[in-house]
Amino acid sequence: QAPLSRLLREFEQIQREQREANGCTERREWWERRSHLDLRMQSLIQSLDQEVLGCWRGLLLPQDPGNSPLDEQELAQLLQELQECGWDSP
């Protein structure tokens, strides 16, 4: 099972449970549910970072518009590898 599919299902479940928690009228129960969901969301984000993005997460960091995070040779190699995986449009 692909990590991204599993994480997307978990995200949908967290959203569903959040909507249910929003209907909770007791303050203590709402906070307990919210805290539990926050921990699950934190775990989901960490899993996304480690299992899906991996070493590529650095490409998502903000950069100076004039500077590429990769030099020309690295960028050419990355584009070639992505195209070999089926990615067809930069």
Q: What is the DSSP string of the chain?
A: --HHHHHHHHHHHHHHHHHHHHT---HHHHHHHHHHHHHHHHHHHHHIIIIIIGGGGGGGS---TT--SS-HHHHHHHHHHHHHTT----
Q: Model's pTM, two decimal places?
A: 0.61
Between CA 57 and CA 46 the distance in angstroms is 12
Whole-number pLDDT of residue 63 = 67
**What pLDDT is attached to residue 19?**
93
What is the pLDDT at residue 39? 97
- Does the structure show a pLDDT above 70 at 64? no
pLDDT for 65: 62
Structure tokens at 67: 């500077």
Number of Cβ atoms within 10 Å of the Cβ of 80: 10
1-30 average pLDDT score: 90
